[in-house]
Structures are given as C-alpha cells and as structure tokens.
Chain A
Amino acid sequence: MIGACWKRDLTSQTSAGDSTPARVLPFGVLGALAVHSNCRVLEKHFMDWRESARTAQRTQCGHSVYWVPCHPRPTEENSIDTPALSDNVVSMKTITSRELSRKPSVISNIKPGEAVHVADRKGGLMMTRAKRIAVTPREMMAELGKVTAGCPPMDTQAFLEDGE
C-alpha cells in the first residue's frame, strides 16, 4: 500500500518552484513534513506548508505525511541546515524507491526529527517527521531527579580522568 502511495505521489508532485502544497498521504506518521533545505522557493513556502500540516493533523487524527520534491539531489553541501528546520531534522538517510517498496518500515518507523530522502533521477522526494519538544529543561531535570534519586556523590570528572 505504501508502495502504491509512493508511486501515485511521484506522479503528482509539482516542480521545485511551485507553491502548491504537497499531497497528504495517510502513512500513519504523526505530523510529518517534507522539505528541501537549500531551495529558497520551497523554504519561502515552508511556513504555509506547516500551517496546512496543522490543519491536516486536526482533520486526519494526526496521521499525515507531507512529501515535497527535492531538486537537486541533496548533497553534503546543501544538506538540511536552515534555521527554520534545524529543530525538526536530526539526521537524513537516502534510500531508493525500490528499497522503499521492499522495506516500507523505513518510513513508517521514522522517528521524530529523522528524515528519509527517496532518491530518483530528478532528485527524489524527502520526508521527515517533525520533532516536537514536549518537555521543558526544568521538566527534564525533574524526570532525571526521579531516576537518579539517592545516587552516591562523586567527582565524575576526576574519576573518569584518573580512574579514581
């Protein structure tokens, strides 16, 4: 089913300069957005897409994936690093559409902040699952306090450097 969605989506994608939002595909992944980092035109429309993503999440119980075309193929030089996206994208792996057909879990199991680039001759498509910061630093420290309650005091740096 995912393979079919992928094929349909490939034929429906617009060119990199088009502002038409990408199609919403029911992949069962929360609030995922697809972006191409180094294309300024797509970057300009990113916020619009993010807004439409929120709408889609509300109407489709939070199970939506957004794909966008990726021209040209991402390289080390134009990999994702724009400030608007840096909190959303952790790492990116590149696979082929054939690999996607064989192993659809690559996308269905995508973790928050991870991105998958499905390459083809025209550059391919990229998708990512948005990372949501659900806890504040203070809440994180409260979580840590519960786990490490009663731990013995020590000078960790001195121990790790000198072996005590």
Chain B
Amino acid sequence: MRIYPDTSFLVSLLYSGDRSHAASEAFFVAQTTAEWVTSEWLLFETNNSLRQLCLARNGPDKIMIEGVRRLFKRWHERGNFTRVDADMADAVTECQQLSAAHAIALRMRSADVLHVALLEQINPDLFVTRDADQFKLASQRAFPAQLLS
C-alpha cells in the first residue's frame, strides 16, 4: 500500500514532543508493509515546519531539529519512505481547478491545497492527515483519506 502523508501528520510523527505523536507513531508502526510516498513540496514544508517549531516559547533546540531532518532524509534511503517526482506546473493547474470547485464552500489554505493537488499525480492508496480541512477536501475529490486526531 502506498500512503501519502501530509505535513501535519509528518510533523506530528517526527516531533516526539507533539501531543498527538503517540497516535501518529501507532498508525505508522501499524503499517508494516506500507510504502510512504513523499514529494518535493511535502519535504520542504515538513522541514520548514520543523524548523519553525524552534520559534515557539520553550521550543526545541535547533540542533535537535536538524538531527530529525537528517534522520528523515536517511529514511528515504534505507527506510520505507520514497520521494516521487511530481510536475509542479500541473499541480498548480490542479490547484486552480480545486479552488474553482470548492473554495467558496470549504476552508482551503493555499499550501494545503497543493498536497491534495499532488494526490492526482501521485495517486496513493491512502492519504493521511491530521488536518480536518485537508481531509474534507481530499474526500471531496474521492481520494481514500484517513483523519488522525
């Protein structure tokens, strides 16, 4: 099974201090044979979000976050994460179509829409998110999706 996670799930998984880390970890460990697919956009947003955590009051140490980033990168070489190439121009076109179809009815942050647009190209068996808005949008597009709280 190919699973495409979004940034909210990955940050929760990679930052063990997150209040939902246990749920994300349990889901991740349960998928023993799954292939976790990532995109260039997902990697950027995840790494950027992890670094942003350092801005929080009593946030994590930046050296630790850099260690997490490097570990995540290593998992792409020896773990079950696989980066796939996606055509960003096509994805932006898909974003515009998604916006035209759903933006007046659903909450759609621009960066999040891009993940759902990428699903069209990556075509995973499951989309995993912690973001209810992304879950609704992906479900509207008939992608199999799972919302972890």
Contact = CB atoms under 8 A, between A and B. Distances in A.
Interface residues of A, number: 34
Interface in A109-124: 111-113
Contacts of B77: 111-113, 131
B17 A157 contact: no
Q: How large is the interface on B (under 10, 10 to 19, 20 to 34, 35 or more residues)?
A: 35 or more
B17 A153 contact: yes
B53 to A, nearest CB: 6
B87 A144 contact: no
B60 interface: yes
Given A92-B85, A113-B82, A134-B78, A157 B28 contact: no
Given A137-B31, A141-B25, A148-B68, A157 B80 contact: no
B12 A144 contact: no
Contacts of A160: 8, 11, 49, 52-53
Interface string B117-142: 00000000000001100000000000
Contacts of A143: 71
Contact of B56 (A133, A134, A164): A164
Nearest to B18: A156
A86 interface: yes
User: Which 8 A-B residue pairs are closest in the complex by CB-CB distance?
Assistant: A151-B17, A134-B78, A148-B16, A147-B67, A156-B18, A91-B85, A153-B17, A137-B29
Interface of B: 2, 8, 11-12, 14-20, 25, 28-29, 31-32, 35, 49, 52-53, 56-61, 64, 67-68, 71, 75-80, 82-85, 87, 130-131
24 contacts: A86-B35, A90-B84, A131-B82, A133-B78, A133-B79, A135-B75, A135-B78, A137-B32, A140-B28, A141-B25, A141-B28, A144-B14, A144-B71, A145-B16, A147-B64, A148-B67, A151-B16, A151-B64, A152-B17, A154-B18, A154-B59, A157-B20, A160-B11, A164-B56
